[in-house]
Amino acid sequence: MTATSDFPSGPVLVIGSGLIGTSVGMALREHEVDVMLVDADPDNVELAVSRGAGRAFLDDTLPSLVVVAVPPVVAGDVVADALVRWPEAIVTDVTSVKSLLQRSVESAPGAERYVGGHPMAGSERSGPMAASAQLFEGRPWAVTPTGTTQPAALDAVVDLALHVGAVPIIMDAATHDRAVALVSHVPQVMSTLTAARLTEAEGNHLALAGPGLRDTTRIAGSDSALWLDILGTNAPDVRAVLQLVRADLDRVIDALGHDDTVLGDVLEAGRRGTALIPGKHGEQPDRLDVVHVQVADQPGELSRLMGDTGAAGVNIEDLRLDHDLGRPVGLAEIAVARGVGDTLVEALTARGWSAYR
């Protein structure tokens, strides 16, 4: 299993003491992991240390894992520098867009020790004072290995996600970026567009604000500079979805007040869409089969499982790990297209895995 009980083999260095970096430190400290912190602004480090996120980084200490938690616009350089500076360390990052960073790193020395990561957690607030050891609890943490990623590097980043309480979900960088355009970046734009209209509210209009408005506009209060960066980095995927949104919006504007069929179709599509969102416990939608596989707590087991699944000709739609830290065996849940679950169980069983549906 990937959640090796001796994770990590040495100190974890978190570069960047903002909301995410400080929260990673605080969550790892709950497992007594040795966490070191560094930030361009020493005040942020001091705050993060005071929140219990770790200790200030000492230049002569060698980290075994480096977590780059800096703004996306500088993350590529910081990752490349870390790979060179610490040639034994595994390096990951937490930025919201993965393909561009992946491409900038893949030709760098040590690229096989880098694995992209993206915790689907955050807050409309930012900075170390908004951090929480529980920020990642039960939240998806995308992990984006490539064909050349070292198994040990993948294991370490999956372990990191598990140790902070997240659910690691393994996918390639391009899939990740299309997915977040849909589930994160476009919702952010829609929330912003809704909230922007409020600036022209007359008189006491906003006195009627209810919880629906607060919910739909909460994330519009997020840091603009960060989102400018994220949206710019993922522009093609975001634009593709927004163009479909615009087509629907045009249909709604045209249909309002006289074509209930069109309006009803859009409203029903919205209802179907919400029903597809996995619940807090990550139920799979109906169109997928889920195969459960026991995975021993040994380095490289997860990579071997992914390899054996691929060799069976089965495409992994979703892979989650459920693992009590320190237990010798964990459970992987592999979601595959409807109808191929049994095929995968047979193939994995033939290769010695304990697999069932």
The least CB distance from residue 214 to its own copies, in Å, is 6
Nearest Cα to 68, choosing from 126, 133, 117, 132?
117
* Residue 209 or 296 with smaller CB distance to its own copies: 209
Nearer to its own copies, 107 or 261 (CB): 261
**For residue 134, with 0-12 CB atoms within 10 Å meaning exposed, 13-18 middle and 19 or more buried, which class applies?**
middle
d(CA 28, CA 82) in angstroms, rounded, equals 20
Nearest to its own copies of 59, 197 (CB atom) = 197
Report H helices in the chain. Answer: 19-29, 42-50, 72-85, 99-106, 151-163, 173-180, 186-197, 211-217, 224-233, 235-255, 260-276, 301-311, 341-350
Of 121 and 153, nearer to its own copies (C-beta) is 121
CB of 9 to its own copies, least distance (A): 29
Give the shortest CB-150-to-its own copies separation in angstroms.
Answer: 23
User: Please, which residue, 58 or 253, has the CB nearer to its own copies?
Assistant: 253
Report yes or no: 345 and 354 within 8 Å, Cβ to Cβ: no
Smallest separation (angstroms) from its own copies to the CB of 162:
16
Query: Shortest gap between Cβ of 142 and its own copies (angstroms)?
Result: 6
Question: 3-class DSSP state for residue 311?
Answer: helix
Whether omega for the bond prior to residue 8 falls within 30 degrees of 0, making it cis, is yes
Q: How far is the CB of 251 from its own copies (least distance, A)?
A: 10
Nearer Cβ to its own copies, position 32 or 280?
280
Alpha helices in 55-126 (DSSP H): 72-85, 99-106
Q: Which residues contact 164 (CB under 8 A, 6 or more apart)?
A: 23, 24, 27, 28, 119, 135, 136, 141
